[in-house]
Amino acid sequence: MTTYVVSRHPGAVQWLVQQGVALDHCLPHLHGQELRAGDRVVGTLPLQLACWVCEQGAEYWHLGMDIPAQWRGQELTPAQMDACRARLERFEIQRISVPKVW
């Protein structure tokens, strides 16, 4: 199993290390990586990319936070992330095809 951390934010990477997450590869973007079943992707991905991760048989772990308005758009330290209740949550996302309804 390989763990890919997808983040452009140094504070987020530091926070993950403090949580004991093994960082095999740290990438600013998930683009063109060959994922294998059982691999783990950690980050804050758009829904369609997180779905693609799951379609490859890999795990998607979302780095979620409750960020107050005054901190949005800023680089956060690990301590600030803790104050925002930073957490890792695993999601299994499935694409569902539906007939056109509108």
In whole angstroms, give the CA distance from residue 51 to residue 85: 24
pLDDT value at 98 more than 90: no
35-56 pLDDT per residue, tens: 999 999 999 999 999 999 999 9
Q: Which residues pair with 87 in a beta bridge?
A: 64
Q: What pTM value is reported for the model? A: 0.90
CB 16 within 8 A of CB 42: yes
8-44 pLDDT per residue, tens: 999 999 999 999 999 999 999 998 778 999 999 999 9
